[in-house]
């Protein structure tokens, strides 16, 4: 079946720098995308979502970009902080259960 994947399993970023986490999806019919953050020992926490009729959405310190042409999703975190260290999952849906990618581990270097 179609699935969502991530380009890099780990990402290390200096504190204060911007982070970019990428995600590739294969189902061109997906119309809803979401990013979750999962800290060690905790459940996933909603960060931001975007629908297919948009190509950019901003939240507090986070921006999600959607490129439907190449089926690519990215999460940008501005001024990365130690508290941003976690595994980040993208997920997609086509009016179906969310399909999660494998995740990218973000490590923030102080």
- Alpha-carbon span 78 to 63, nearest angstrom: 8
Residues in the interface with another protein (CB under 8 A) total 21
DSSP string, 14-75: ETTS-EEEEEEE--TT--EEEEEEE-TTS--EEEEEEETT-SEEE-SSEEEEEETTTTEEEE
Residues 15-74 within binding reach of another protein (CB under 8 A):
32, 41-46, 49, 51
Does position 103 interact with another protein (CB under 8 A)? The reply is: yes
Does position 95 interact with another protein (CB under 8 A)? The reply is: yes
* Closer Cβ to another protein, 1 or 110, answer by number: 1
Does position 107 interact with another protein (CB under 8 A)? The reply is: no
* Closer Cβ to another protein, 35 or 85, answer by number: 35
Measured CA angle at 9 (ends 3, 10), to 5 deg: 150
Sole binder of another protein in the list 75, 86, 89, 108 (CB under 8 A):
89
**Number of neighbours of residue 30 by Cβ within 10 angstroms:** 22
The residues binding another protein (CB under 8 A) are 4, 32, 41-46, 49, 51, 89, 91, 93, 95-98, 100-103
């Amino acid at each position: 079946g179609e699935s969502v994947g991530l380009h890099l399993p780990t990402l290390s970023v200096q504190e204060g720098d911007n982070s970019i986490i990428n995600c590739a999806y294969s189902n061109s019919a997906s119309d809803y995308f979401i990013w979750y953050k999962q800290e060690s020992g905790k459940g996933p926490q909603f960060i931001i979502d975007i629908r297919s009729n948009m190509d950019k959405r901003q939240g507090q310190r986070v921006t999600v970009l959607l490129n439907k042409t190449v089926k690519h999703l990215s999460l940008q975190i501005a001024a990365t902080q130690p508290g941003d260290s976690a595994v980040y999952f993208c997920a997609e849906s086509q009016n179906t259960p969310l399909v999660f990618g494998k995740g990218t581990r973000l490590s923030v270097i102080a």
